Chains A and B, each alone.
Chain A
Amino acid sequence: RKEVEQDPGPFNVPEGATVAFNCTYSNSASQSFFWYRQDCRKEPKLLMSVYSSGNEDGRFTAQLNRASQYISLLIRDSKLSDSATYLCVAYGGSQGNLIFGKGTKLSVKP
Chain B
Amino acid sequence: EPEVTQTPSHQVTQMGQEVILRCVPISNHLYFYWYRQILGQKVEFLVSFYNNEISEKSEIFDDQFSVERPDGSNFTLKIRSTKLEDSAMYFCASSADNQPQHFGDGTRLSIL
Partner of A101, one of B33, B42, B50, B95: B42
Of B14-22, B62-70, B73-81, B102-110, the one contacting chain A is: B102-110
Residue contact B105 to A95, C-beta cutoff 8 Å:
no
The total of chain B residues at the interface (CB under 8 A) is: 24
Main secondary structure of the interface of A (DSSP, over half): loop
Q: Which residues of A contact B102 (CB under 8 A)?
A: 46
* In the complex, per-residue mask of A77-103: 1 if CB is within 8 Å of any chain B CB, else 0: 000000000010000111111111111
Interface residue B100 (Cβ < 8 Å from any Cβ of A): yes
Main secondary structure of the interface of B (DSSP, over half): strand
Residue contact A45 to B44, C-beta cutoff 8 Å:
no
What bracket does the count of chain A residues touching chain B fall in?
20 to 34
A residues neighboring B (CB under 8 Å): 34, 38, 41-46, 49, 87, 92-103
Residue contact A97 to B43, C-beta cutoff 8 Å:
no
